[in-house]
Amino acid sequence: MATQDVFSAEELARLRGFPEINRAELIRYFTLTGADEAFVRQFRTGRNVLGVAVQLCSLPWLGFVPDEVALAPDAVVGRLSQRLGIAMGELRGYGEREQTRTDHLREVAGYAGWRSMNTAEWKDLDEFLFARAMEHDSPKLLFRLACEYLLSSRVLRPGVILLLRRVAAARAHARTETWSRVRHLLSDRRCAELDLLLVPDAYLGRTPLAWLSVGPTSSSPAAVKAELEKLAYLRRLDAHTVDLSMLPVERRRFLAGVGRRLTGQALQRREPERRYPILLTLLSQSAVDVLDETLLLFDQAISGREAAAKQKVAEALAERAKGGENRQALLDEILTIVLDTGIGDEQIGGMLRMSIGLDRMRAAWAERRERLPRDHGQLSMLDASMSYLRQFAPAVLAGRVRRWARHRAADAGRGDPDGSVRGRCPQGAGRRAGRVRAGEVGRLPGRRGAGRRRYCVSPVLGAGRAGGPA
């Protein structure tokens, strides 16, 4: 991007002039102390005194002084005019000679403790901009950060175009540095694989890059299987082994965002020094994102079925309670007779048969139901969802994700020799840690203790997340 294209003409005019000022800024920056007033009154005429006062107060407010000092906001001029006892109109002719205004600014900067840009200041600014450019590539953001840096360092801001040139140089330096840091990862084979991401695939009907960039829209079995296909594709490219820790996190996020935003043709037109870091970062980030999406879809599918089972149990319990009202009324009548101490034990049976009746008690006995299990039948309700879950759960648990998790956990030194994987649950997926053995994975959905499913599955899945590329 050319320097002059960063800001429009209107934006450049605003950056070079006085902005609008609020009351808090007016009081903070345009209140003269006794020493300030003594300093500005050293200048001979009222015009110069008022003009120097505007420069003195504008410098800490903006970090620079606009060329047209006479165009300062009326509120600013009025406040200083009242304090100094000089008419506002005196400022109109201030700065007719550019040299006068420049000389006054130099004296104001020396009095206020501000410095002008020199070789050392330019060097410090370049280092600051390079560090920020490795994290952010937006020229407008870098320009604003540079202005804030100079303001905090009490250094006079140079011209807008000069500062934009430094921003452009920092961005170019960041691109060169990025290439130098990832170049050792880009073998000929890797470059060829990255180039294939930009070539349309007949099976996919699009480029692999576009395919990887499209996320799931539902938690259906088809969506989970589609994410598993992406996961397998990325594993074949060894995307999960790409280590980009030499780049700042923000730089990686920016490069991955560029890769998702641009089309394959646009990326092909970029020079290799810019194209390959983008594709490599996107590939590595996709390995993390697709794994996260797979786990999220799997969790949503299980959570959705579990919530549906809970709802069915609640409805069944409510229906069961309605049907038991007659039996409850019968029990109340029986207890009234049994607990009456005035009725002898030998009389209770006859009293029950006479007052309640055998037919009514037989009818209540015929309507008896089996006792509910401790979970009120929630696991039985989940059994009806197993055909749905088995469409994708075995592939997630016993297939690619489990092997990925074991591989990454072994790399991190967390693999167990017996084939189990220990791990930490991802944030928000539960706090407990557990163990899943290879022989147990296939039995998880169907065993009675499936109520602990999330705590057995989460450590396996969490190991893949914890050990995946950052």
Query: Helix 345-355 crosses helix 325-338 at what angle (to 10 degrees)?
Result: 140
DSSP symbol at 247: S
| Same structural domain, 129 and 172 | yes
> Average pLDDT for residues 109-125, to the nearest whole number?
94
Q: What integer pLDDT is reported at residue 383 of this predicted model?
A: 65
Q: How far from 241 is each of 39, 215, 359, 366, CA to CA, in Å?
A: 65, 22, 76, 66
Residues 6+ apart with CB under 8 A from 330: 356, 360, 361, 364
| Same structural domain, 398 and 456 | yes
What pLDDT digit, counting tens, does each position of 297-315 carry?
888 877 777 777 777 777 7
Q: Is residue 427 part of a domain?
A: yes
Residues 6+ apart with CB under 8 A from 85: none
183, 207, 233 — which closes off a domain?
Answer: 183
Tokens of 171: 């961005």
CA distance linking residue 216 with residue 199, whole number of Å = 22
Q: How far from 367 is each of 121, 314, 320, 364, 394, CA to CA, in Å?
A: 92, 21, 11, 5, 42
What pLDDT digit, counting tens, does each position of 234-257 carry?
988 999 889 999 999 999 999 998
Q: Quick check: 317 pLDDT over 70?
A: yes
Q: Is residue 97 part of a domain?
A: yes
Q: Is residue 199 part of a domain?
A: no
What pLDDT digit, counting tens, does each position of 367-418 carry?
676 666 766 666 666 666 666 777 777 777 655 544 555 555 555 544 443 4
112, 139, 160 — which closes off a domain?
Answer: 112
| Same structural domain, 164 and 137 | yes
Q: Is residue 201 part of a domain?
A: no
| Same structural domain, 146 and 48 | no
Q: Is residue 454 part of a domain?
A: yes
CA distance linking residue 230 with residue 223, whole number of Å = 11
Q: Quick check: 286 pLDDT over 70?
A: yes
| Same structural domain, 124 and 90 | no
Contact 42, 51 (CB under 8 A): no
Residues 6+ apart with CB under 8 A from 76: 18, 21, 26, 30, 54, 57, 58
| Same structural domain, 77 and 103 | yes
Backbone phi, psi, residue 415, to 5°: -80, 145
Domain span at residue 169 reads 119-183
| Same structural domain, 418 and 437 | yes
DSSP symbol at 343: S
| Same structural domain, 134 and 37 | no
| Same structural domain, 50 and 136 | no
Q: Is residue 237 part of a domain?
A: no
CA distance linking residue 394 with residue 371, whole number of Å = 33
**Reported confidence tier of residue 448, pLDDT bands at 50, 70, 90:** very low
| Same structural domain, 88 and 153 | no
What pLDDT digit, counting tens, does each position of 130-173 carry?
999 998 888 999 999 999 999 999 999 999 999 999 999 999 99
Q: What integer pLDDT is reported at residue 409 of this predicted model?
A: 52
- Give one DSSP letter per residue of 402-457, joined into a string: HHHHHHHHHHTT-B-TTS-B---PPTTS-S----B-HHHHTTTTTSGGGGGHHHHH
When divided into structural domains, the chain yields a total of: 4
77, 97, 112 — which closes off a domain?
Answer: 112
What pLDDT digit, counting tens, does each position of 55-66 carry?
999 999 999 999
Q: Is residue 410 part of a domain?
A: yes
The answer to whether the Cα torsion of 165, 171, 177, 180 is positive or negative is negative
Q: Is residue 212 part of a domain?
A: no
| Same structural domain, 41 and 104 | yes
Comparing 212 with 298, which gets the higher pLDDT? 212
Q: How far from 174 is each of 7, 132, 268, 342, CA to CA, in Å?
A: 21, 9, 21, 98
End-to-end CA distance of the chain: give it in Å, rounded. 30
- Residue for token pair 């037989």: 362
| Same structural domain, 106 and 135 | no
Q: What integer pLDDT is reported at residue 224 of this predicted model?
A: 83
CA distance linking residue 108 with residue 104, whole number of Å = 6
Provide the CA 145 distance to its chain's centre, in angstroms: 22
